[in-house]
């Protein structure tokens, strides 16, 4: 076998210029795909992180029908204490769950005593909320980076429009589920930077203040945001939640809960999918490059070495050996291209990271692109290249092995 590989490699480098040109093509293709994959993966990770860690969480649980009406923030679709208790029980038993945060979401009127406007508010337990969406703290422009009782964190656009500053006094008026209107006076505890995505322009108050303003006698909540220890477990945790909570019925015999991952809650998932589709097509282009270039080299090799094939066949080399010889040439070409492409791609990524390329996503500015190569991507792309190279070499190799020695020896 070693002799076969040795002969194949020597044959491959017999036409140095052609082999090196083809190898360069594969190398550049692999390097380009690796850079593209790592940059898009980094961009995706930052984008998903910005969305889930600033506001959304990885998974959300609501009462059935809530998400369809989420624009109205319907109080009559809150989870009752019994349901909330059930959710808490399930989440406590799941080792993959890092944190969860109950939220009361409602709409109201915000007034600074000079003018008033609509406001959407999240009433949260600050400790649980910051554990569930850790980037939330980075959005606060206040002295203490938390949410205290009696204080309101005002969305930055609203604060700017109404000239509200930290320390000002404001009133929030809201209508509760029973229809009674209640007012509550807050001190502006901070300004919240807006983020792209659903709920990205909401204000924050303490969950106890939320209960008081809505006069909730029982601890109802609108949604539970969940953070997982590893995002890879998203689908499996969702599946288990569907199995446990999804089977729960309300007194009318209909499903009591609805469970959504971040993918179903934000339109930015479509951007992620588009990136994945682009990556797929880039990989297809790589396959085409490898297929055509290797096939071209191998067809030429068989044509140019027809007499040689006739000679080795005449002296008794079995067709399978001849086939192997050419397949190994294709495989070597793919392997060398994949390895050198990986080295070149890694180098390009290191250089790119050294330049600290910045970009903006929504209202988040100056995010630094931190591209890194995933071993799975390297392995996948390497395997694709090698497999396609073997495939491309197989047809000419088969043709070589089927040549009649007498015909091949007559070839000029």
Q: In the window 269-308, what residues touch another protein (CB under 8 A)?
A: 307-308
Q: With CB under 8 A as the contact rule, which of the stretches 10-18, 66-74, 170-178, 330-338 interacts with another protein?
A: 10-18
Q: Where on the phi/psi map is residue 188: left (φ > 0), alpha (ψ -120 to 50), or beta?
A: beta
230 binds another protein (CB under 8 A): no
For the chain, state the CA radius of gyration: 31
Measure the CA–CA gap between 41 and 55, rounded to whole angstroms.
21
Both tokens assigned to 147? 């949410």
Nearer to another protein, 167 or 319 (CB): 319
Cβ at position 10, least distance to another protein in Å: 4
4 binds another protein (CB under 8 A): yes
Cβ-count burial 263-274 (b if 16+ within 10 Å, e if not): bebbebbebbee
14 binds another protein (CB under 8 A): yes
Nearer to another protein, 7 or 28 (CB): 7
Measure the CA–CA gap between 142 and 162, rounded to whole angstroms.
18
Cβ at position 318, least distance to another protein in Å: 5
Both tokens assigned to 202? 């909401």
Nearer to another protein, 4 or 20 (CB): 4
Q: Of 176, 212, 311, 372, which one interacts with another protein (CB under 8 A)?
A: 311
215 binds another protein (CB under 8 A): no
Contact at 8 Å (CB) between 228 and 58? yes
Bridge partners of 171?
111, 185
Query: Residues, the chain, total?
Result: 412
11 binds another protein (CB under 8 A): yes
Half-sphere exposure of 218 (CA within 13 A, CB side): 11
Nearer to another protein, 251 or 316 (CB): 316
17 binds another protein (CB under 8 A): no
Cβ at position 313, least distance to another protein in Å: 7
Cβ at position 391, least distance to another protein in Å: 24
Q: Which helix (H) or strand (E) holds 229?
A: none
Q: 265 Cβ partners below 8 Å, 6+ apart?
A: 56, 60, 67, 198
Ranges of H-type helices in 156-200: 156-161
Q: In the window 100-159, what residues touch another protein (CB under 8 A)?
A: none
19 binds another protein (CB under 8 A): no
318 binds another protein (CB under 8 A): yes
Cβ at position 6, least distance to another protein in Å: 9
The candidate with the shortest Cα–Cα distance to 260, out of 46, 62, 24, is: 62
Nearer to another protein, 61 or 309 (CB): 309
Residues at the interface with another protein (CB under 8 A): 3-4, 7, 10-11, 14, 307-308, 310-319, 321, 404-406, 409
């Amino acid at each position: 076998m070693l002799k076969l590989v040795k002969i194949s490699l020597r044959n491959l480098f017999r036409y140095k210029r052609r082999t090196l040109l083809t190898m360069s093509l594969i190398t550049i293709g692999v390097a380009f795909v690796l850079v593209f994959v790592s940059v898009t993966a980094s961009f995706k990770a930052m984008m998903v992180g910005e969305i889930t860690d600033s506001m959304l969480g990885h998974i959300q649980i609501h009462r059935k029908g809530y998400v369809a009406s989420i624009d109205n923030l319907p109080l009559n679709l809150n989870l009752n204490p019994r349901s909330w208790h059930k959710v808490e029980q399930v989440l406590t038993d799941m080792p993959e769950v890092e944190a969860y945060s109950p939220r009361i979401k409602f709409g109201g009127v915000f007034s600074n005593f000079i003018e008033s406007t609509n406001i959407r508010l999240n009433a949260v337990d600050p400790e649980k909320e910051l554990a569930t969406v850790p980037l939330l703290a980075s959005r606060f422009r206040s002295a203490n980076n938390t949410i205290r009782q009696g204080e309101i964190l005002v969305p930055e656009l609203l604060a700017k429009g109404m000239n509200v500053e930290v320390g000002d006094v404001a009133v929030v008026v809201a209508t509760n589920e029973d229809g009674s209107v209640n007012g509550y006076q807050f001190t502006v505890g901070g300004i919240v930077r807006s983020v792209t995505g659903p709920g990205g322009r909401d204000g924050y108050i303490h969950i106890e203040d939320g209960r008081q303003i809505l006069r909730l006698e029982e601890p109802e909540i609108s949604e539970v945001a969940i953070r997982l220890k590893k995002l890879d477990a998203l689908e499996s945790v969702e599946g288990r939640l569907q199995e446990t909570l999804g089977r729960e019925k309300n007194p009318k015999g209909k499903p009591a809960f609805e469970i959504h991952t971040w993918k179903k809650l934000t339109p930015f998932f479509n951007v992620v999918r588009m990136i994945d589709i682009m990556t797929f097509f880039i990989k297809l282009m790589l396959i085409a490059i490898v297929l055509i270039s290797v096939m071209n080299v191998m067809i030429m090799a068989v044509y140019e070495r027809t007499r040689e094939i006739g000679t080795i066949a005449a002296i008794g080399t079995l067709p399978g050996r001849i086939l192997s010889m050419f397949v190994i040439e294709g495989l070597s070409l793919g392997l060398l291209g994949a390895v050198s492409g990986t080295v070149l791609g890694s180098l390009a990524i290191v250089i790119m990271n050294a330049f600290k390329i910045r970009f903006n996503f929504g209202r988040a500015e100056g995010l630094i692109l931190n591209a890194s190569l995933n071993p799975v991507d390297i392995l996948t792309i390497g395997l694709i290249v090698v497999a396609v190279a073997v495939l491309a070499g197989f047809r000419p190799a088969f043709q070589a092995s089927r040549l009649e020695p007498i015909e091949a020896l007559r070839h000029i």
